[in-house]
Structure 1
C-alpha cells in the first residue's frame, strides 16, 4: 500500500517542492500549516496546525502512515530551539498515533558533515550567521535518533535554484575531505519521495549532494527500482545508479516534463527521465530511488 504522508514545513520552499513531486506522481500527501490559505491552489489536503502545538499534530496525523519534516528556522533568538522542540512534538504525536516512519531534513553542517562544504560556507557562514541554527539542528538530529521511530535523517548540501549538470549522490558516509556540491530543492524532494515509497536508509543519516566531475549521462531508460553497480565511491562503499520510485499501481503519474525533478533518475516510469542519482554507504549499495 502506498504510504500517506504528512508534510511538516509545507509552506516553505522545500515543502512546496515535496508537494510538487508528490503531485507529479499522484501520491496522497497532507500538509500541516499554521496558515492553510498559504497553500491555496497548491494542494487540497491542508490542515491547520503548529509544530509547537502537539494536539494539532496529533489531529493532523489521523490516517497518516509517515511524516516528512522539512521544518526550517531563522537565526534569531525566538527560533533558537524551534527545530528541537518542534521535532520532539512531532515525535510525541507520532507515538500517540502509532505512526512509525519519519524522514527529517536537517542540512550540511550538522554533526560530522561540518567541514565537507565549500570553504566560504564552512569557514564563514556556518560558524557565524548560522551558528545558532546548526546548534538547533544538532539537537534536532539527537531527538530523531532517540525517537524509536523508523527514521531517516537527510543532510542536503547548499541549496540553489539552478539545476546542476552533475549526478546527485546519496551517501551515508563521507570520505575524508570529500566536498558536497550544491543541488536544488527539487533534487531533495525527489529523494524524499523515493525514500518514502522504497525505504533504503532506515536508521541512517544520508548526505545528499552533487560532486564535480560527475556530469550527467544521457538517459538509457533504466527501469524503476533497478540498481547498477558502478565504480567505487571512495567512501568505503560501492556506488549504484538509482532510478525514480515506481509509480503507485492504483494511480497513473502525469507525464508533464515540468513536473519531474531535474536530477531524479533515468527511469522509464519517470515523468521526465534524463538524470541519475548514485548512492553508496558503509555496507555498499543501498538505494532504490529517491
Structure 2
C-alpha cells in the first residue's frame, strides 16, 4: 500500500514508518524537522510541513491508500494541538478524495472497560484529572473525525511504553480491554497497520492494550 504518516517523528509515528517499510509498503512521512526522522530507506518519502494549512499538505495525501496519524500533545502545555492539526489533515484528505484514516487517541477518552474494578476506575479518574486538557483535545479530535467523510478508525491505548514490539495485545471494538494498563508504542503502531485494511474497524473507536 501507499501510506502517509503524520506525526512521523513521534514515538508511535516512527514505529508506523519503520514497520510499514518492513512490510513492503511505500510511506510518505510528514514531518516538521526531517533531521528528527530516524527511519529511512528506498520506500520512504520525507515531506516537510508544519501543517499550517490543508493546501500545503494535499500533495502528501494525494493518491494514497490510507493516512495514519500519530499527532498529539507531547505534554499538557501542548493541549489543543491534536484537534487543530488533524483539521488540516481532514481538509487535505477531503480535497484529494482520500478516505481511509487511522488516528491515535487515548483509552480514558473512550468508554470504560466492562466490569472495571475499583482500582482501575480510581486510576482512570486520577489520570483523566491530571491530563484534563489533553483529553479534552482528544475528545474534540474524535468528534471532528466522526463528523468527517473519512473512513476513520480511532485507536485508544492506555499508558504508553518504549518497549520492543510483541505483536501480542488485545483489541476491543467500541470499548477497552479489561485491566488493560500498558502497551508499547511499537504495538500500537502494529495494531494500526493491521487495522488499515480491516473493514470491521471503520468508523470505530478501538481500545488496544496488553
TM-score normalised by L of structure 2: 0.86
Aligned to 1:97: 96
Aligned to 2:85: 86
1:201 matched to 2:171: no
The alpha-carbon distance between structure 1 residues 112 and 147, as it changes in their structure 2 partners (threshold 3 A), is same
Question: 5+ residue gaps in structure 2?
Answer: none
CA RMSD of aligned residues (A): 2.6
Out of 124, 127, 133, the residue aligned to residue 125 of structure 1 is 127
1:38 deviates by 1.9
Instruction: Describe the SS at the equivalent of 1:11.
Output: coil
Deviations 1:206-262 (A, max 9, x none): 00012xxxxxxxxxxxxxxxxxxxxxxxxxxxxxxxxxxxxxxxxxxxxxxxxxxxx
Instruction: Give the distance between the partners of 2:93 and 2:22, measured in 1 at CA.
Output: 27
Instruction: Give the distance between the partners of 1:41 and 1:18, measured in 2 at CA.
Output: 10
1:62 deviates by 2.9
Aligned to 2:8: 10
Count residues in correspondence: 204
1:19 deviates by 1.0
- The within-5 A match list for 1:184-263 is 184-210=184-210
Instruction: Give the distance between the partners of 1:153 and 1:169, measured in 2 at CA.
Output: 15
2:18·2:39 contact (CA, 8 Å) conserved in 1?
no
Instruction: Give the distance between the partners of 1:27 and 1:165, measured in 2 at CA.
Output: 20
2:110·2:156 contact (CA, 8 Å) conserved in 1?
no
Aligned to 1:23: 21
Higher helix share: 2
1:152 deviates by 0.7
- The within-5 A match list for 1:150-165 is 150-162=151-163
Aligned to 2:144: 143
The alpha-carbon distance between structure 1 residues 118 and 158, as it changes in their structure 2 partners (threshold 3 A), is farther
TM-score normalised by L of structure 1: 0.64
1:118·1:180 contact (CA, 8 Å) conserved in 2?
no
Aligned to 1:75: 76
Instruction: Give the distance between the partners of 1:63 and 1:95, measured in 2 at CA.
Output: 12
Instruction: Give the distance between the partners of 1:39 and 1:8, measured in 2 at CA.
Output: 12
Q: Highest relative contact order (Cα 8 Å, sep 6+), 1 or 2?
A: 2
1:123 deviates by 3.3
Instruction: Give the distance between the partners of 1:157 and 1:163, measured in 2 at CA.
Output: 16
Instruction: Describe the SS at the equivalent of 2:83.
Output: helix
